[in-house]
Amino acid sequence: EAGVAQSPRYKIIEKRQSVAFWCNPISGHATLYWYQQILGQGPKLLIQFQNNGVVDDSQLPKDRFSAERLKGVDSTLKIQPAKLEDSAVYLCASSLNRGSGYYEQYFGPGTRLTVT
Q: Which residues bind other proteins (CB under 8 A)?
A: 4, 31, 33, 40-45, 48, 55-56, 91, 93, 95, 97, 102-110, 112
Cα–Cα separations (whole angstroms), residue 86 to 29, 48, 106: 28, 19, 23
Nearer to other proteins among residue 16 and residue 62 (C-beta): 62
Q: How far is the CB of 80 from other proteins (least distance, A)?
A: 25
Nearer to other proteins among residue 16 and residue 44 (C-beta): 44
Residue of 95, 89, 87, 79 lying closest to 109 (CA atoms):
89
Nearer to other proteins among residue 22 and residue 103 (C-beta): 103
b (16+ CB within 10 A) / e for 15-24: eeeebebebb
